[in-house]
Amino acid sequence: MTLGGKAAVTGIGETDYTRDAGGRGVLTLQLEASLAAIADAGLRPAEIDGIVMPIGLGATVAEDFVTNLGIPDLRFSTTTPLGGAGAVAAVQCAAAAVAAGLCRHVLLPLGRTGRTGSRIGARIHQMPQFRTVGEFEAPVGALAPAQYYAPMARRHMELFGTTSRQLAEIAVTTRQHAILNGNATMTAPMTIEDHQASRMIADPLRLLDCSLESDGAAAVVVSKADAAGDLRQPRVLLTGLAEGHPDSPSTITQRPDMTRLGLAKAAPRAFAMAGVTPADIDVAEIYDCFTYIVLCQLEDLGFCGKGEGGAFVEGGALGLGGRLPVNTHGGLLSQSHMAGMNHVVELVRQLRGQAGRAQVADAEVGLVTGYGDLGDGTIAIMARA
Amino acid sequence: MITAMPSKPVPEPTPESRPYWQGLAEGRLVLQRCADCGRVRHYPRPLCDACHSFAADWVEASGAATLHSWTVAHHPYHPAFRAELPYVLATADLAEGVRLVAQLRGAAVLRLGLPLRIGFEPAGEGLVLPVLRPAG
């Protein structure tokens, strides 16, 4: 049996994305997005019988949703604590649960007060996946994701000639998409020169290579495929799903090849499950905690060879009408840092033909990825059906 | 009035890593080695991933290293490091086949493969950290 085609994303919901949710807590934000996703699917809250909580930072638990939504019979709940890979891991987990018959409609809520709550440099050291670097690397001054990931980008530059201006292409295109979205935090136009003039954070990563700190929530509903046809929206099937972990997953320092992520292992499995190749992908929502992580994933996904990502992204290739439209909502870089659940929402929107001014013409097959600390990869391939 | 300065993060050694930190305190970089198959591993951990032996001993590193990659830290993620900015965080290939992250001082030019030497710097309260400098 294959998991491909057994489940569908039937509902999507988002709050407003801001830098200050105005006193709304994480649970309130998640409930807002959840109600929107459940209504979008044409379901009643009482019909939700599964919950998968991505990220696993422990701010809220499945019981909170049973209590607030009045769910009478929750049959399945778990967490997918893979950091930024957690949202897509939750999609895979929910698909497996409905395919196995454990439940029919799974809610995946993700919300945070990443801007008004604790900030990244403090937050990550509460995450168990940072335990090793916390002991051995934080004492010498390596404290935050930008500092852990920058050596991957630097080595890529030294080995392959990748440039900061090529990273800028990713930031600029992503901003153009955010401007079209209508629910994005960053809406001022950006040029490559703006990127080059932005202050250095962790060389070679500049401020405009880094994602946002955001308040808000996003949620989706994953349903058994044969239930999806009865619901409100055009059906978007999950055709390929996979998770992959890099060598030396606890520390980038000790990774034999630090230019290769866990996604390099996951992507071939997902493409095989879906029966498609990178050439079939009409739109890609790629986890973008930093510009370089997008470039590296494009290689690991097979859109180009290792070391060719810099040339691949040049000349607006990732824009609407380009070779591969990427992060059509503005991503974590310019829309909001919803740890990739906003990427899942956007892919569904594209495949339904509901992406408004950012709609990719005739989008039928797309993919969404997750990237979690310190290199875990997840991927979901979806198709309009 | 006393203004409290948040202190730098300090390691919380585990049973497996205590000899590593103790070695640094004595001005030696020691690496964990499988007592059965001889494979050197870093960072310290309970099990050899090659032969699954829990038995380990310790070997002193030669101090020779080369530059594998680096970043230059500019943003103050932690107030206790603000005064040191900008500083180079180097990932170094050790002669023993594992890598180390430490601050790199005194390098005029950074390039892959740059020969380095490991040194030691007191960081207060008995903690000693490794530091890298260009070799020769």
* Position with higher pLDDT, A129 vs A35: A35
Domains and CATH numbers, chain B: 14-60 (no CATH), 62-136 (2.40.50)
Return the pLDDT at A138.
Answer: 96
Residue A259 lies in a domain: yes
Return the pLDDT at B1.
Answer: 46
Indicate yes or no: CB of A154 within 8 angstroms of CB of B98: no
Among A132, A200, A251, the residue with its CB nearest the CB of B74 is A200
Indicate yes or no: CB of B11 within 8 angstroms of CB of A136: yes
User: What is residue A75's three-state secondary structure?
Assistant: coil
Residue B40 contacts A, CB cutoff 8 Å: no
pLDDT at A188 over 60: yes
In tens, the pLDDT along A29-55 reads 999 999 999 999 999 999 999 999 997
pLDDT at B6 over 80: no
Q: What is the domain range of residue A215?
A: 7-117+211-384
In tens, the pLDDT along B102-112 reads 999 999 999 99
User: What is residue A139's three-state secondary structure?
Assistant: helix
In tens, the pLDDT along A43-92 reads 999 999 999 999 756 689 999 999 999 999 999 999 999 999 999 999 99
Between the two ends of chain A, the Cα-to-Cα distance in Å is: 20
Return the pLDDT at B7.
Answer: 87
CATH number where A88 lies: 3.40.47.10
Bridge partners (DSSP) of residue B57 are B33
Indicate yes or no: CB of B73 within 8 angstroms of CB of A141: yes
For chain A, what percent of residues have pLDDT higher than 90? 92
Return the pLDDT at B4.
Answer: 63
DSSP secondary structure string, A290-323? BHHHHHHHHHHHTSS-TT-HHHHHGGGTTSTTSS
Residue A185 lies in a domain: no
Residue A79 lies in a domain: yes
Residue A68 lies in a domain: yes
Residue A117 confidence class, pLDDT cut points 50, 70, 90: confident
pLDDT at A181 over 50: yes
Q: How far apart are CA A82 and CA A373, in angstroms?
A: 7
pLDDT at A10 over 60: yes
Closest residue, chain B, to A149 (C-alpha) = B71
Residue A350 lies in a domain: yes
In tens, the pLDDT along A325-379 reads 999 999 999 999 999 999 999 999 999 999 999 999 999 999 999 999 899 999 9
Q: Is B48 within 8 Å of B34 (Cβ atoms)? A: yes
Return the pLDDT at B5.
Answer: 65
pLDDT at B3 over 60: no
Structure tokens at A291: 């510009």
Return the pLDDT at A23.
Answer: 92
Return the pLDDT at A125.
Answer: 78
Indicate yes or no: CB of B11 within 8 angstroms of CB of A121: no
Q: What are A's interface residues with B at a Cβ cutoff of 8 A?
A: 120-121, 125, 132, 134-144, 146-147, 150-152, 154-155, 158-159, 199-205, 251, 253-254, 258
Q: How far apart are CA A59 and CA A71, in angstroms?
A: 20
Nearest residue to A373 via CA among A278, A289, A264? A289
For chain A, what percent of residues have pLDDT higher than 70? 99
H/E/C letters for each residue in chain B? CCCCCCCCCCCCCCCCCHHHHHHHHCCCCEEEEECCCCCEECCCCCCCCCCCCCCEEEEECCCEEEEEEEEEECCCCCHHHHHHCCEEEEEEEECCCCEEEEEECCCCCCCCCCEEEEEEEECCCCCEEEEEEECC
Mean pLDDT of all residues in B71-78: 96
* Per-position b or e across A329-340, b if 16+ CB within 10 A of its CB: bbbbbbbbbbbb
Residue A280 lies in a domain: yes
In tens, the pLDDT along B21-59 reads 999 999 999 999 999 999 999 999 999 999 999 999 999
Closest residue, chain A, to B103 (C-alpha) = A140
Q: How far apart are CA B36 and CA B135, in angstroms?
A: 33
> What is the least distance, in Å, from the CA of A172 to any CA of chain B?
22
Count of domains observed in chain A:
1
Residue A310 lies in a domain: yes
Q: How far apart are CA A365 and CA A322, in angstroms?
A: 16
Mean pLDDT of all residues in A183-210: 98
> What is the least distance, in Å, from the CA of B83 to any CA of chain A?
12
Instruction: Report residue A230 CA to chain centroid gap.
Output: 28
> What is the least distance, in Å, from the CA of A288 to any CA of chain B?
19
Residue A137 lies in a domain: no
In tens, the pLDDT along A304-337 reads 999 999 999 999 999 999 999 999 999 999 999 9
Return the pLDDT at A213.
Answer: 92
